[in-house]
Amino acid sequence: MKRNLHLQTVVLIGSGNVAGHLSKAMAAAGLTVAQVFSPHIEHARVLASEFSALFTDRYSQIIKDADLYLIAVPDGKISSVVVKLPPVAGIVCHTSGVTSMKILEKFDRSGVFYPFQTFTGNSNVDISKVPFCLEASSQEVMDTIRMLARKMSKSVHTMGIEQRKRLHLAGVLVNNFTNYLYAVADDFLEENGIDTSLLLPLILETAAKVQKLPPDDVQTGPARRGDESTIEKHLNMLNDNVELREIYYILSQQILKKYHA
């Protein structure tokens, strides 16, 4: 039987930020959001109301005839969701960077639909630029979910679990750790009575610069130019601040080693 590659209806399993952003993007790509499931019925209701969709907190009430079931729940909850989901003929995808597609093997047609971006409630992410990393249990499923992804984004990639896990790790570096550096810098300025908003244009420009040039080519700062005198002065300023001093020391040593070894 030749299936139609155009997905028409989707059921969201989950009602958090990923579910919220992807459901809106799928609706914009022409899909009908048919139902939202969440163990938190109120969350399901709120998200469903954006699409006049059904909503439920019971697995037994999940509709069986949707084309796509998108599991957008925290990584650690995927396996328990899978156990409770009824068998369905539609494609079942999870959205996790670190979870194998095998977790979905009880379904005939399954895949991974991993958006490599951070989603928060009130941030307007441009979905058309979000990289979608896809994996599928068959060529037919891949063709189908790729067609959907391409309607949503210009950046669509096929990727197995080993590469996906590594991409996720790189995301921890450029998102979680970078944000932690922002937080540490904020704290340091606050302790010294300096307006933390002074950092914002520099933060934005630092991120903007590498959109055009490789970070290796635009690395600057005391360690990059081998200015050990400034590094020492900075370390001395941080004598009361064990954590920040450790970060400063380790990163400066690594940059020195990279460019001046």
- Contact between 5 and its own copies by CB under 8 A: the answer reads no
- Contact between 103 and its own copies by CB under 8 A: the answer reads no
Strand partners, 132: 115, 156
* For helices 139-152 and 17-28, angle between their N-to-C axes, nearest 10 degrees: 90
Tokens 């068959």 label which residue? 138
Cα 20 to Cα 115: distance, rounded to the nearest angstrom: 13
Binding-site residue total for its own copies (CB under 8 A)? Answer: 89
Nearer to its own copies, 40 or 257 (CB): 257
Question: Which residues from 176-215 bind its own copies, rule CB under 8 A?
Answer: 176-186, 188-189, 192-196, 198-215
Per-residue CA distances from 40 to 17, 45, 58, 191 (Å): 14, 9, 10, 40
How many CA atoms lie less than 13 Å away from 15 in the CB half-sphere?
Answer: 21
Minimum distance of its own copies from residue 258's CB (angstroms) = 8
By CB under 8 A, which span of 43-51, 65-73, 80-88, 233-241 interacts with its own copies? 233-241
Site string for its own copies, 113-152 (x = CB under 8 A): ---xxx-x-xx-xx--xxx-x-------------------
- Contact between 171 and its own copies by CB under 8 A: the answer reads yes
Which ranges in 153-227 belong to alpha helices (H)?
Answer: 161-171, 178-191, 200-209, 215-218
- Contact between 16 and its own copies by CB under 8 A: the answer reads no
Considering only 173, 239, 240, 261, the residue that binds its own copies (CB under 8 A) is 173
Nearer to its own copies, 89 or 181 (CB): 181
Nearer to its own copies, 29 or 161 (CB): 161
Considering only 5, 28, 89, 170, the residue that binds its own copies (CB under 8 A) is 170
Q: Are strands 54-56 and 32-37 parallel, antiparallel or unpaired?
A: parallel
- Contact between 220 and its own copies by CB under 8 A: the answer reads yes
* For helices 228-237 and 242-260, angle between their N-to-C axes, nearest 10 degrees: 170
Question: Which residues from 52-71 bind its own copies, rule CB under 8 A?
Answer: none
> How many angstroms from the chain centroid is the CA of residue 180?
17
